[in-house]
Chains A and B, each alone.
Chain A
Amino acid sequence: MGLRNFCSVILLGLALWAIPSFADDATTPADKGPVLQVAVIDGDTKNSLTYAFTMAMLKSMPKTSYTTNTIWTEGETQFDGVLLTELLATIGASPTSVTAWAINDYMAEFSPDEPSWDAALIAYSMNGQNMHVREKGPLWIVFPYDESSEFRTDYVYSQSVWQLSRLDVE
């Protein structure tokens, strides 16, 4: 990946330098419309019913908090959010598997028979603040990593999906 190529991409950004509204004023995606889509897929017909959740809807659901160290953040970090199981119960889904998709199409699978299933938290705030996409937000699946070595494995790290945008429920 050459520096020249990179700079050519950045040129467009630099051309916009004169715009008076800068990063500090930028609204996060969390402020605009749905932040999470949940597609419930019928295993037989493959028809799907999609639910769209806004940040306000997620915040109105029963909140769970974890205070834990992570391999991505400095020191103990508090995450507030909704348990995956809680979210699925809200829409009346009892799936055999869930696939979590990030904005960049990264995906990870969850199964009810895994220890991580009950602990998976869809976090919408970190240390009391909404998370920008640049901070792995607006939604980030996290686990109580400090609680057990079960949550400090490569597999669970791979399930810690940042920038979560969609859940496929089957």
Chain B
Amino acid sequence: MSTAISDVSEVLSPNAIKIARFSALGAVLLLCFLALLSLAIEVFNKLEHLKEANTDNAEWSFSQIEVDYYRMRSEFEIANYTKLSDLSAASKSFDVFYSRIVNVSSGPYASFLLADMETARSLNDSWTPRRISLMRATPPCGADFNLL
């Protein structure tokens, strides 16, 4: 090894050796930089991919159903006990609740939810009776309350 170095020293001037060493160091640094750049791009792409969502937020959707259910119940109770002639607020709250139920029970979002067997079973057990009641109540709640 020392023979090889001494051979190189004999062939190249000290300046040329220095330039060669700096060039080698530069090449290594460039490779490191490129590797880091490549990793940074990969991380950035993964973050971009993670930002993308295919569905609505399930927890929020279900909590919103509960909020809209209690709002509807409250509106109907007010209408019932105060004998209101204008039932538009109750009717509107029913429509909002209906839209929430439809959102989680049909369409692509429902397919996503039902893909998980446990969620599907839970939904089936807890929501089927409510959906039946909801569908039964739909015609009268959609009626023209001005006729009352």
Interface residues of A (CB under 8 A from B): 1, 3, 5-7, 9-10, 12-17, 19-27, 29, 71-74, 103-104, 106, 132-136, 149, 152-154, 157, 162-163
Task: Tell whether A13 pairs with B72 under 8 Å between CB atoms, given A74-B107, A104-B67, A154-B57.
Answer: no
| Residue from the set A25, A27, A71 with the largest chain B CB neighbour count within 10 Å | A71
B108 touches A10 (CB 8 A): no
Query: What residues on A are CB-neighbors of B143 within 8 Å?
Result: 16, 19, 21-23, 25-26
A132 touches B129 (CB 8 A): no
Count how many chain B residues have C-beta atoms less than 8 Å from C-beta atoms of the other chain.
49
B contacts with A: majority SS:
helix
Report A76 CB to chain B, min CB distance, Å: 12
Give Cα A162–Cα B95 distance, bound, in whole angstroms. Answer: 12
Smallest CB gap from A27: residue in B: B144
Report B124 CB to chain A, min CB distance, Å: 14
Interface residues of B (CB under 8 A from A): 48, 51-57, 64, 66-73, 76-77, 79-80, 90, 92-96, 98-99, 102-103, 107-109, 129-130, 133-134, 136-144, 147-148
Give Cα A74–Cα B108 distance, bound, in whole angstroms. Answer: 6
| Residue from the set A15, A133, A153 with the largest chain B CB neighbour count within 10 Å | A133
Give Cα A154–Cα B55 distance, bound, in whole angstroms. Answer: 8
B141 touches A13 (CB 8 A): yes
Smallest CB gap from B71: residue in A: A104
A-B contact pairs, 29 of them (CB 8 A): A3-B130, A6-B130, A10-B133, A10-B137, A17-B140, A19-B147, A22-B143, A24-B142, A25-B143, A26-B142, A27-B144, A71-B54, A71-B108, A71-B109, A72-B56, A72-B108, A74-B107, A104-B71, A104-B93, A104-B96, A106-B64, A134-B98, A135-B99, A136-B103, A149-B48, A149-B51, A152-B52, A154-B51, A157-B57
A152 touches B53 (CB 8 A): yes
Smallest CB gap from B53: residue in A: A154
Report B135 CB to chain A, min CB distance, Å: 11
